[in-house]
A and B are shown apart, each in its own frame.
Chain A
């Protein structure tokens, strides 16, 4: 078309190359809790995200706290002093956690968000904006992360565009705790050692049953054979160490005896305690 000076609409790619974000379950719990406790007139909750930036560019979001705010049709006001106070308090405990962004509940990104994003970008070079949809508008709870990208026309800044970045939910501690505890609304008793063992064994048994059924189905021709799965199963079965029966028996018996010895020792210790206590308190001073 017409050549000559044309100002080009530039899309700058994020400068610090933030590839993705990882969020810990604690942050989601915190956000939900704050949302449930929000004051009646507020529609959504806004707060700060704390965490760290990993060397490969991923942002690790580890903690969060809510910040009181007032919102009207045109403007949004954040309680900045509160934000700073909480930040100082949190950093006393864990100085490594710094601000990495902010969150808000509700599905999309609204107009007011740009202002808040601006405020946070003064504290941190490239803040992450996390939205947690507590209203389940799409029929599911969506958690999304955005970074803002400046749209500039020549030299002038036009607007900020929110680009979504991939978000990963890293669940290591939650899994360790035992997922049932965190998922249900009420758990009556924390499982102790043996009960937990029982549950695990049950799950293992179920898995083995599934594999058995699958192999049977394939052999009888009910299910088309998938070579990959077959190879995987063969590898797994072959990964059991091949020990000759006497060697394995010896190994097992040794371990068994060690455990039995420890049990015996602990029973002796308890007997000793019982005796000592009887002697101590029953001793009469003549």
Chain B
């Protein structure tokens, strides 16, 4: 009896927990307000902060957060930064705040957040925490009346590839990974404790129109669109640079192959002659010859990231255009009447 029980315990300990996939990120209103306040105060500089919360089943709950101080580029301040983090976590623990790091947040300008640094930070966090998310907040979009908050996660297949550090066309085709699969966006749910909800309802009655509506109905979206287009054009330039790198690679590859063929032909012709003359044939390969050196294929990571960025800008432009159409037609009907 005891034996079988012990064995089942061992079995239970030995079987790996099946991690249910992350479906929803549940954020508290407090965290959203804190993120907005921090990002807005320091805009246009980009700021980051840490998210704290709980990981429950398929929901990742974010219950609190604290901002990081802006770091100067100085070696000493590295240790300071770590100290600050430990200090904050310790202090928050004393007032019963959840002490687990579940990710980090950062602000962005016009959605230009897909960089290699983001991926590296993700990998760093992933070492220690099973599931982490990154929340991206865009303060410039909030002037349009939209809450631009996104929760991102790196997809698993991408992470494996990144660890292997190989981004060649072969591997990507194997995994069927395209530029859309790098980041996964997770839906966000907002929750508030009942006490806060009671307070808010009390303190601020339901006005028929809020500031948010005023922002949304503003007619001038030109500056925003202009900046978006500028960023888009810059990204296209970057993309074309990447494309040129690829073209160069393919051209040199085909040139190298042509050279190899020519050399092989010559070798074969030489061998025929030698055979006719009765000498030993020379080997058909020559590793020391520079034309046999394999050319490294450029990594596709950059181009994927840039592609993601461009797609983002396009989406934003589409969204804002949609809004503008609405507004224009509204103006038209108001004027006609």
Contacts and interface: CB of A to CB of B under 8 A. Distances in A.
B84 A29 contact: no
Interface in B21-80: 28-30, 32-34, 36-38, 40-41, 64, 67-70
A45 to B, nearest CB: 8
A18 interface: no
Nearest to A174: B33
B195 A134 contact: yes
B188 A196 contact: no
A25 B33 CA distance: 8
Contacts of B6: none
A136 to B, nearest CB: 7
B273 to A, nearest CB: 30
B96 interface: yes
Interface stretch (A4-12, A113-121, A200-208): A200-208
Given A29-B33, A243-B335, 9 more contacts: A38-B95, A39-B96, A136-B198, A173-B37, A186-B192, A193-B320, A194-B319, A197-B326, A206-B208
B153 interface: no
Given A89-B84, A252-B332, A283-B250, A37 B197 contact: no
A177 B212 contact: yes
A30 B334 CA distance: 44
A223 interface: no
Given A141-B202, A177-B147, A197-B323, A273 B310 contact: yes
B328 interface: yes
A177 B314 CA distance: 24
Interface string B179-210: 10000000111111111111111111010111
Nearest to A79: B94
A216 interface: no
A26 B33 contact: yes
B276 to A, nearest CB: 33
B3 to A, nearest CB: 43
A31 B309 CA distance: 39
A192 B95 contact: no
A184 B198 CA distance: 9
Contacts, number: 246
Interface string B238-266: 01000100100010011001000000000
B41 A94 contact: yes
A185 B194 contact: yes
A128 to B, nearest CB: 18
Contacts of A280: 169, 246, 300, 303
Nearest to A34: B95
A270 B38 CA distance: 34
A269 B91 contact: no
Given A66-B95, A185-B191, A259-B325, A179 B30 contact: no
Nearest to A92: B69
B contact patch SS: helix
Contact of B319 (A183, A193, A203, A204): A193
A259 B229 CA distance: 12
B96 A38 contact: yes
A240 B331 CA distance: 9
Contacts of A203: 208-209, 213
B323 A193 contact: yes
A270 B311 CA distance: 7
B215 A176 contact: yes
Contacts of A189: 187-189
Nearest to B232: A269
B307 A183 contact: no
A109 interface: no
A36 B193 contact: yes
Q: Give me the 10 closest cross-chain CB pairs, A-B, nearest first.
A: A175-B211, A266-B314, A193-B319, A92-B69, A37-B96, A187-B190, A29-B30, A200-B213, A266-B317, A32-B196
15 contacts: A32-B199, A65-B95, A134-B195, A173-B37, A176-B145, A177-B32, A186-B189, A186-B192, A191-B146, A194-B323, A196-B146, A196-B216, A276-B303, A280-B303, A281-B173
A28 interface: yes
A178 interface: yes
A262 B36 contact: no
B324 interface: yes
B321 interface: yes
Given A190-B147, A280-B300, A200 B216 contact: yes
Given A280-B246, A285-B169, A36 B195 contact: yes
B41 A255 contact: no
B179 A277 contact: yes
Given A26-B33, A38-B96, A190 B169 contact: no
Contacts of B213: 200, 203-204
Given A92-B84, A266-B317, A269-B232, A259 B189 contact: no
A140 B32 contact: no
A182 B192 contact: yes
A207 B207 CA distance: 11
B97 interface: yes
Nearest to A179: B210
A280 to B, nearest CB: 7
A263 interface: yes
A196 B145 contact: yes
Nearest to A256: B328
Given A200-B217, A204-B217, A175 B146 contact: no
B194 to A, nearest CB: 6
Given A177-B32, A196-B145, A141 B40 contact: no
Nearest to A263: B321
Interface string B136-161: 00000010011101000000000000
Contacts of B199: 28, 32, 141
